[in-house]
Amino acid sequence: MKGTLREISIPRFALRRDEAAAALAISPSTFDSWIKRGLMPEGKPIGGVTLWDATKVREAWQRLADGPGAEDDGDRPFRGRVV
């Protein structure tokens, strides 16, 4: 991880698109897909930059992880099946 100790130690409450995706261990394009599907919140454009509320991203993740659709593979219906 790059950055100064100060940058690393400051709590983050707003994330850019790539940072929000990285926090979820997914690609930015998958993050975009999840937004379109309503699985993640929309970002807020502020002064030419779009930011995501870190708490809302975490809450959306918790709903995915704990919800009834947690086992849903969405675009990967054959995941884990031997062919």
Report, as an integer, the average pLDDT of 8-12: 77
Indicate the domain borders of the chain.
Answer: 12-66
For 31-54, the pLDDT digits (tens) are: 999 999 999 999 999 999 999 999
- Asked if 73 contacts 79 with a C-beta cutoff of 8 angstroms, the reply is yes
Q: Report pTM.
A: 0.70
For 52-67, the pLDDT digits (tens) are: 999 999 999 999 999 8
Sequence-ordered alpha helix ranges (H) in 1-83? 5-9, 17-23, 28-36, 54-66
Q: What CATH number belongs to 12-66?
A: 1.10.10
